[in-house]
Amino acid sequence: EVQLVESGGGLVQAGGSLRLSCAASGFPFSNYWMSWVRQAPGKGLEWVANIRQNGGESERYYVDSVKGRFTISRDNGKNSLFLQMNSLRVEDTATYYCARKGDGRVDHWGQGVVVTVSS
């Protein structure tokens, strides 16, 4: 069974940093694109970042609003996905989901982790 379990969320002051982790199991992690998607309270879904299977610098993609502040990475040996978030802003407050891209579409999601940025 595919499982994605996020951790690392919490409350942080604006300008601070957090590192989110996603532990993957039940599938060959290194074979799949992985993503972070967020949802601000009461708002719609926003794609944050994608990383291809090998995870090199040229294989990472970010929404404009987080470029230069967030870094997606992966450790294929540990079946783990990460999101390093620096210079956090109040508008980064959201539930962050780890997701797996299957045949085209995202086919599995974690339950999400809450990040709250206070002013």
Interacting residues with other proteins (CB under 8 A): 35, 44-47, 49-50, 61-64, 97, 101, 103-107, 109-112
Q: How far apart are CA 20 and CA 31, in angstroms?
A: 21
Q: Which residues touch 104 (CB under 8 Å, ≥6 apart)?
A: none
CB of 78 to other proteins, least distance (A): 23
By the 8 A CB rule, do 98 and 111 touch?
no
12 or 63: whose CB is closer to other proteins? 63
Nearer Cβ to other proteins (31/119) = 31
- C-alpha 79, offset from chain centre: 14
Q: How far is the CB of 74 from other proteins (least distance, A)?
A: 16
Chain Cα centroid distance, residue 81:
7
Q: Which is nearer to other proteins, 14 or 47 (CB)?
A: 47
